Amino acid sequence: MSKKLMSVFALALLAATPATAAPFCTGGDWGSGGIRISGGIRIGTIDSDDRHEINLMRLRRIGVDATRAEEWNGCIRAFVRQPGGGEIMQFFDPNTLEQVY
């Protein structure tokens, strides 16, 4: 097999390989704005910075050593400190706070 043909075959094989899928979550219940209390009463509004801070506090409460959290692809994307130093990105379901892989 010639080198050119092998190169074309290798590129075709690489292009046919599926990419690693990004985590996807169904999303939390932030769409309506404000906090809902039974009976449909709404108090104030919550902007994206507030949601990020609330999600960060929720993750810290369950023991995730996150430095920041944001909404991404329906998930909570958190940057989590590692014991040996540095941070890694982890994804969590906004409803259950289970880690999404």
Q: Is residue 17 domain-resident?
A: no
Name which residue leads in pLDDT, 78 or 101: 78
Q: Is residue 13 domain-resident?
A: no
Of 65, 86, 85, 68, nearest to 77 (Cα)?
A: 68
Q: What is the pTM of this model?
A: 0.63
Tell me what pLDDT residue 41 has.
66
Q: Is 10 helix (H, G, I), strand (E, B) or coil?
A: helix
Tell me what pLDDT residue 17 has.
43
Phi and psi angles of residue 52, each rounded to the nearest 5 degrees, phi first: -65, -45
Q: Is residue 19 domain-resident?
A: no
Q: Is residue 93 domain-resident?
A: yes
Q: Is residue 16 domain-resident?
A: no
Q: Is residue 2 domain-resident?
A: no
Work out the number of other CB atoms within 10 angstroms of the CB of residue 74.
Answer: 15
Q: Is residue 86 domain-resident?
A: yes
Q: Is residue 57 domain-resident?
A: yes
Domain span at residue 43 reads: 25-100
Domain count, the chain: 1
Taking only the tens place, the pLDDT of each residue in 60-90 is: 999 999 999 999 999 999 999 999 999 999 9
Name which residue leads in pLDDT, 5 or 90: 90
The single-letter DSSP state of residue 21 is P
Residue 97 has pLDDT above 70, yes or no: yes
